[in-house]
């Protein structure tokens, strides 16, 4: 078992029995504080685990290296996804939480998608906000019905619509239960993202309880 956390992070224990733990993964230039409020809005009372990306790009934290905008260093993506999976296990051991539901935005959504593909057992599912395909040659993952919500922006200048659609197809082919929505927004998050994610998390939790 890891004795030292490989990430700087925040952990909020939550206060509602049965609320799913959330793994909050920020976008480029964010930190461990960025998505705490979003997590509390999406799933009130959930334990919140929020690490800071360890890669710096012009001084801005990220979760993996890129060669240019939209062009990822895929060897680094794989390495960083495994590193994040180890951190999740560290936090589960330390805080006694279940496998978390990832909530990732932009770069954080991309590393969450990579983690699903590289180490599926680390997560119970994911909310991917403005995500792209993280690996052009992914491993043969078996996601076994893990729920995934992908929220894309119709006017997103960073994430092409066909790329986000390809990610949805990739995760579906691996066995995930994917729900993709396209909102009339750009790359930034909106109140519609919060409302849709909150409803989806509540419905997913209910389905898990009755199944």
| Diameter of the chain measured on Cα atoms | 48
* Active-site position among 76, 172, 187, 190: 187
Q: Which of 149, 148, 159, 150 is nearest to 187 (CA)?
A: 159
Query: E-assigned strands of the chain?
Result: 9-12, 22-25, 48-51, 55-57, 60-62, 66-68, 71-72, 101-105, 125-129, 147-153, 177-183
Q: Give the Cβ contact number of residue 96 at 10 Å.
A: 10
Q: Does residue 137 carry a catalytic annotation? A: no
The whole-angstrom separation of Cα 3 and Cα 193 is 36
The whole-angstrom separation of Cα 7 and Cα 17 is 27
* Active-site position among 43, 46, 156, 193: 156
48 backbone dihedrals φ, ψ, rounded to 5°? -120, 125
Q: Does residue 31 carry a catalytic annotation? A: no
Residues 6 or more apart whose Cβ sits within 8 Å of residue 211: none
Residues 6 or more apart whose Cβ sits within 8 Å of residue 158: 69, 70, 106, 130, 187
Q: Does residue 79 carry a catalytic annotation? A: no
* Active-site position among 43, 106, 124, 152: 106
Task: Give catalytic residues, as residue numbers.
Answer: 106, 156, 187
């Amino acid at each position: 078992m890891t004795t030292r956390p490989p990430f700087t992070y925040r952990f909020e224990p939550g206060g509602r029995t049965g609320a799913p733990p959330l793994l909050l993964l920020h976008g480029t230039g964010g930190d461990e504080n960025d998505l705490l409020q979003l997590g509390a809005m999406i799933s009130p009372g959930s334990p919140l685990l929020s690490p800071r990306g360890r890669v710096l790009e012009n001084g801005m934290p990220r979760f993996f290296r890129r060669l240019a905008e939209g062009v990822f260093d895929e060897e680094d993506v794989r390495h960083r996804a495994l590193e994040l999976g180890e951190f999740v296990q560290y936090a589960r051991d330390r805080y006694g939480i279940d496998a978390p539901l990832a909530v990732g935005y932009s770069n954080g959504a991309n590393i969450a998608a990579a983690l699903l593909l590289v180490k599926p057992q680390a997560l119970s599912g994911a909310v991917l906000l403005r995500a792209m395909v993280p690996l052009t040659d992914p491993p043969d993952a078996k996601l076994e019905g893990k729920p995934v919500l992908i929220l894309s922006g119709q006017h997103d200048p960073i994430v092409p619509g066909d790329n986000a659609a390809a990610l949805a197809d990739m995760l579906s082919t691996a066995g995930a239960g994917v729900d993709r929505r396209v909102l009339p927004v750009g790359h930034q998050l909106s109140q519609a993202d919060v409302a849709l994610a909150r409803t989806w998390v509540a419905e997913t939790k209910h389905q898990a309880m009755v199944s």
